[in-house]
Amino acid sequence: MYQFRNDYSVGCHPIVLEALSKANTEHVVGYGADKYCKDCADLIRSLCNAPKADVQFMVGGTQANLTAIAAFLRPWESVLSPFSGHINGHEAGAVEATGHKIIPVHTPVNGKLSPALLLPVLEECKDEHLTKPRLVYISDATETGGVYTKAELTELSLFCRHHGLLLFLDGARLGCALSSQANDLTLPDIAALTDAFYIGGTKNGAMFGEALVIMNQALQTDFFRIKKQRGAVLAKGWLLGLQFQALLKDNLYFKIARHAVETAQYLQGGLKNLGIPMMVESPTNQIFPIVPNTLLPQLDKLCTYEVWGKADEDHTVVRFVTSFATPLESVERFLKTLKDIS
């Protein structure tokens, strides 16, 4: 079976496993107060060119999203999110469970927000009988694989600051976004342009873990307390610092991501050569081919993947995802097999 189900369906990168194994018998203080977490936070601050950033490690993305949003907002404030945003459609009401309304904003299929899309929503929310929009949630890469350019993120950032909005970037797939050919952003750019963002580990080589970087100093206060309150403090907290150290040292994190992107791009190109169109042209590690329904039984035997939705009566959008664990040769063989089939 060729494996394209997702980028979190296999354990961690061997170098991460080695780091975990090596430190396994060491006695370390708990709850993230250890030297691995401290050193790794320093490393992240350095990589982001953000000496005053607060770095908070958490286990998963929903946890990072809900804890950050709950920490940043006052009770009457709401979140502006792309309709396709992970917090809107895949987290079982996690943000609402913290008391905050999400106002979904329709976007193009690439899932990207822009000032032009946000402005009319802001206008409608001036009425005091409504919640006050206060935080703009975006993802880079988006749920459909899109990436923000530096011009786009800068424009969005300026818009947010002008309108008193916080800009929060879900970076569950930040590695792949920054490794895409469509990208011209750097970690320091992202740090400079957002109020907070996270560097996703789970989907890019870690066993688990997300590194939340809080740039806006007004949002840093007491973050540990709310993290504890939401069950988001790992007892053996050093496991997070340890993994991110292994990933960020020697640029492993971006090497992994580049490999995932290149593999997906190769797959996307190959499928298009076979006459299979895409729902959206994705520059990252998730691609969205539109396949004839008649092909699905064969695909089921050949590989793992996810059904994304119906394209029309006779066609289905599927999602293929690659990761550090996707050998380029297996993509080549998969394409060849597919060619033989069709």
Residues 234-293 that bind a copy of itself (CB under 8 A): 234-236, 239
The residue among 20 and 122 lying less far from a copy of itself, judged by its C-beta, is 20
Residues in the chain: 342
**Using CB under 8 A as the criterion, what x/- string covers residues 186-205 for binding a copy of itself?**
----------------xx--
Long-range contacts of 228-232 (CB under 8 A, 24+ apart): 230/63, 230/66, 230/67, 230/70, 231/63, 232/58, 232/59, 232/63, 232/64, 232/67
What minimum distance in Å lies between the beta carbon of 133 and a copy of itself?
11
Q: Residue 137 and residue 197: Cα distance in Å, rounded?
A: 10
Q: Residue 61 and residue 45: Cα distance in Å, rounded?
A: 20
**Residue 208 contacts a copy of itself per CB under 8 A:** yes
Residue range at the interface with a copy of itself (CB under 8 A); choices 65-73, 150-158, 162-170, 246-254: 65-73
**Residue 14 contacts a copy of itself per CB under 8 A:** yes
Where do we find the tokens 């999400």?
102
Beta strands 54-58 and 210-214: pairing type? antiparallel
Residue range at the interface with a copy of itself (CB under 8 A); choices 161-169, 189-197, 228-236, 314-322: 228-236
Q: Choose, by CB under 8 A, the member of 123, 126, 222, 340 that binds a copy of itself.
A: 222
By CB under 8 A, the residues from 144 to 173 that bind a copy of itself are: none
Give first-to-last CA distance, the chain, whole Å.
Answer: 18
| Torsion (CA) 29, 30, 32, 34 in degrees, nearest 10 | 10
The residue among 24 and 312 lying less far from a copy of itself, judged by its C-beta, is 24
**Residue 218 contacts a copy of itself per CB under 8 A:** no
**Packing angle between helix 14-22 and helix 238-248, nearest 10 degrees?**
140
**Residue 333 contacts a copy of itself per CB under 8 A:** no
The residue among 204 and 282 lying less far from a copy of itself, judged by its C-beta, is 204
The residue among 93 and 269 lying less far from a copy of itself, judged by its C-beta, is 93
**Residue 21 contacts a copy of itself per CB under 8 A:** yes
Q: Choose, by CB under 8 A, the member of 44, 48, 160, 226 that binds a copy of itself.
A: 226
- Find, among 250, 256, 283, 149, the residue nearest to 202 by Cα: 256
Residue range at the interface with a copy of itself (CB under 8 A); choices 24-32, 36-44, 144-152, 329-337: 24-32
The residue among 131 and 154 lying less far from a copy of itself, judged by its C-beta, is 131
Residue 99: left if φ>0, alpha if ψ -120 to 50, beta else—which one?
left
Residue range at the interface with a copy of itself (CB under 8 A); choices 231-239, 243-251, 276-284, 328-336: 231-239
**Using CB under 8 A as the criterion, what x/- string covers residues 72-101 for binding a copy of itself?**
--xxx-x----------xxxxxx-xxxxxx
Number of residues that bind a copy of itself (CB under 8 A): 75
